[in-house]
Each structure stands twice: as C-alpha cells, then as structure tokens.
Amino acid sequence: MRPIESLRPHEEIVPHELGLIVHDLERENSLRHPIIADTSSGVILDGTHRLAPLKVLECNQVPCALVEYDDPRIIVERWYRIITGSSLDEFVEELGGETQTVPTNEEAEKCLTLRECYASISDGKSWLTLPCNLTTPLELIRAAYKIEEFAKQKGFKIKYSDTNKPVLSSDRLVLSTIALNKPEIVKSALSGEVFPPKTTRHIIPSRPLATSTPLELLRSKHTREAQALFVQGLQSRQVKKMPEGSKIGSRRYMEEVFVFT
C-alpha cells in the first residue's frame, strides 16, 4: 500500500474514460488490479487510469506492485496507433504540413530514433515521416498526439497496437511516435508536465493481477493498518502463474503474470 499522494503519473488520462471507470469501481466496490510504480520516485509505470478515479472516490491508499525502475529488465516500449478509414495519400493531404518519403520502415524508425521527425505514417507499402524543429520530448510527443486527435475528429477509428508490422490495407494506417527513455519519463512525472495518454508501454519482469482490493480499505487514512489487511487478504488466496504473451481480457501481456484467484 502506498499513500495516494506519493504516486506520480507521467501520462494524462482520457477525460471521457474517467466517469466510466469511476462507475465501474463503484459497481464492483473494489480495485481489480494494482498500480505498477517505481519504489523510490513513486512514478507510475502502468495504472494512471486507475489512480485518477481513486482520487475522485476519495481513496487515500493505493495497492502497488513496486519495482526498481533502473532494473534493465524493465523495458520502455511504445503504443502504435492503427488508424482505419482513409488512404495514406488522402490522410496526409487533409492533415497538411511537411512530410518526407522514406523507402523502408527501418529508415522511418531511424528518423524517429534520431528525433529528426516526431512521427511516421505508413500503409505497409509507403512510409512518410513528419520532420520538425521541436526539441523536447514533450513537444515531440504532443505534436504526434495532434495527429491522433485529427483522425478522431475526422471520424476515423483508432486502435492501439504493440507492434507496427505492416497492415497492407488501402484504408488502414500505422502511426508511430518517438520512444521515450526512463530519465525523460521520471523527469516528466516529477515536474507534473505529463505526456498524452498511451505514450508508453512498460514491460516488466512479472506482473500481479486481480488483487481486487475493496474501496473501503483504500479509503483508510492509516497506511500501516491498510497494508496489514491487504497482505492478509492476499495470503488467503491462490495464485495462478501464466507465461509471457498471455492474453487476459482484451490485453496481451509480454511478461509473466501472476493472477490472484
């Protein structure tokens, strides 16, 4: 258990999802999964959309799976945007702005790695990069996020994927952004200048799920008492270990998972 004020998100929440999650939490009267956070800084690696509703519901404690963020086994990846509803040429023409054509996905990724562009867009046959004069990670990520917002305004469907493999479809595009590193993420969280939603995807050595902590316990003002009751509850349950790559609900986990039953 960690006091709620000790945790630091590095991403914004999706505003329209907040009310839905609050409703689900109230209906279930418990928090299904713990938040993943760095032990020393309190930076949230996964769980921002769980933290914000808990604040709305006046919770004081949060169950956390604490990790050492410096551990090299913890990897920072990206979420890719799959945009459906437009051809590449039509989308870029409506989007406007400067683009550059590159011959391969590898060249597009090199441009992103060097931060000579803030995003790339592909239909699996052609790759376009969007060059810029922006310098800070936040500026680069926000510029890319504006493309996602533009697509939504146009009525195109957006899905998130853990891979940018070619889609090879006339009306499906892959939007790729720069990759952040750990110091940039920590700096953002501690400064309060957070990134847009779904900027990072963290892979950790192992992940606990389904701890299902009652909201009544999370509203406790006494961390030590809440901690003791939390541990007592977990010790009374069985744990099912699942291998990396397991799909639970709508999400595929790239680390081994321990599910409390």
pLDDT tens, per residue, the chain with 261 residues: 999 999 999 999 988 899 999 999 999 999 999 999 999 999 999 999 999 999 999 999 999 999 999 999 999 999 999 999 999 999 999 999 999 999 999 999 999 999 999 999 999 999 999 998 888 999 999 999 999 999 999 999 999 998 888 777 779 999 999 999 999 999 999 999 999 999 999 999 999 999 999 999 999 999 999 999 999 999 999 999 999 889 888 788 889 999 999
Task: Tell me, yes or no, whether 117 and 168 share the same domain.
Answer: yes
Task: Tell me, yes or no, whether 116 and 165 share the same domain.
Answer: yes
Contact 8, 41 (CB under 8 A): yes
Task: Tell me, yes or no, whether 15 and 70 share the same domain.
Answer: yes
Task: Tell me, yes or no, whether 83 and 144 share the same domain.
Answer: yes
Task: Tell me, yes or no, whether 64 and 88 share the same domain.
Answer: no
87 within a domain of the structure (yes/no): yes
**H-helix or E-strand spanning residue 15:** helix 15-28
Q: What is the pLDDT of residue 11?
A: 97
Nearest to 172 by CA among 59, 82, 78: 82
Task: Tell me, yes or no, whether 150 and 170 share the same domain.
Answer: yes
Tokens of residue 28, six digits: 């279930």
Q: What is the pLDDT of residue 134?
A: 83
Q: What is the pLDDT of residue 49?
A: 93
Last residue of a domain, one of 175, 196, 218: 175
Q: What is the pLDDT of residue 220?
A: 96
Q: What span, in angstroms and rounded, lies between the C-alpha atoms of 202 and 261?
A: 24
142 within a domain of the structure (yes/no): yes
The separation between CA 144 and the C-alpha centre of its own chain, rounded to angstroms, equals: 15
Q: Which domain holds residue 122?
A: 77-175
141 within a domain of the structure (yes/no): yes
Nearest to 25 by CA among 63, 56, 4, 3: 56
Q: What span, in angstroms and rounded, lies between the C-alpha atoms of 36 and 247?
A: 18
Q: In 3-state terms, what secondary structure has residue 156? A: coil
260 within a domain of the structure (yes/no): no
181 within a domain of the structure (yes/no): no
For 56-78, give the DSSP string.
Answer: HTT--EE-EEEE-TT-TT-EEEE
Angle 134-135-139 (CA atoms, 0-180°, nearest 5)? Answer: 65
Q: What is the pLDDT of residue 15?
A: 84
Number of folded domains that form the chain = 2
CATH code, domain carrying 134: 3.30.1760
**H-helix or E-strand spanning residue 251:** strand 251-252
Q: What is the pLDDT of residue 252?
A: 83
Q: Where are the alpha helices (DSSP H) in 129-250?
A: 137-153, 182-191, 215-218, 223-235
Q: What is the pLDDT of residue 169?
A: 78
244 within a domain of the structure (yes/no): yes
Task: Tell me, yes or no, whether 59 and 85 share the same domain.
Answer: no
Q: What is the pLDDT of residue 96?
A: 92
Angle 30-229-217 (CA atoms, 0-180°, nearest 5)? Answer: 35
Provide CB contacts within 8 A for 145, sequence distance 6+: 196, 199
180 within a domain of the structure (yes/no): no
Task: Tell me, yes or no, whether 21 and 83 share the same domain.
Answer: no
Task: Tell me, yes or no, whether 99 and 166 share the same domain.
Answer: yes
